[in-house]
Amino acid sequence: MSKDEIKKLLSKIKIDYSWSFADKTRKDTAYITHGYHRYPAKFIPQIVSRLVEKYTTKNDLVVDPFGGCGTTLVESKVLGRKSIGVDINPVAVLITKAKITPISPIKLEKAFIELKNKLNFYSEHIKVQLPIHDRIDYWFKPEEKRKLAFIFKK
């Protein structure tokens, strides 16, 4: 097929611009647990939600063989579907587990306050060695690395 034939064929396809979700902001895509962590090349949840709604019904099983940070699993749960996700990256698996595991709001708030107090104390009083890892600069900003060092300090 020539380049011109391909262009002609593609020109006949009606474009549905609603799939671009161009009006969505970072805040719009970070609802529920989707804003826990930034992850490269992730789907925005609106795409996943629309696909799951369009092609499945309640209690269907949704499988994501490249699970990434769990967007498909979260949206499937919200829409009443069962889901399975797989990923080779252990960081992605950990993020997914954090995103799909229900936690009591009271327990969460208590742990958050304790952690915040601990971080404030450490950042004011204690120096720590930042963790060394090949990809740590890719995943975390300097302030986040410092806070993680406080959390995991022995």
pLDDT in tens, 46-86: 999 999 999 999 999 999 999 999 999 999 999 999 999 99
CA distances from 82 to 46, 59, 77, 96, 106 (A): 18, 6, 6, 15, 27
| Shared domain check, 61 and 46 | yes
| Shared domain check, 145 and 70 | no
52 close to 79: Cβ distance less than 8 angstroms: yes
pLDDT in tens, 25-52: 888 888 988 888 877 778 899 999 999 9
| Shared domain check, 109 and 85 | no
| Shared domain check, 134 and 58 | no
For residue 59, give the CATH number of its domain: 3.40.50.150
| Shared domain check, 147 and 96 | no
59 close to 81: Cβ distance less than 8 angstroms: yes
On the question of pLDDT at 112 being above 80, the answer is yes
Its pTM stands at: 0.65
Number of domains comprising the chain? 2
Mean pLDDT of the region 106-122: 88
122 occurs within a structural domain: yes
On the question of pLDDT at 131 being above 70, the answer is no
Mean pLDDT of the region 80-94: 94
| Shared domain check, 131 and 56 | no
| Shared domain check, 56 and 129 | no
**Which pLDDT score, from 0 to 100, does residue 105 have?**
92
Mean pLDDT of the chain: 88
Domain span at 131? 103-154
Mark which of 102, 121, 142 sits at the end of a domain.
Answer: 102
| Shared domain check, 80 and 43 | yes
Query: pLDDT > 70: what percent of the chain?
Result: 92
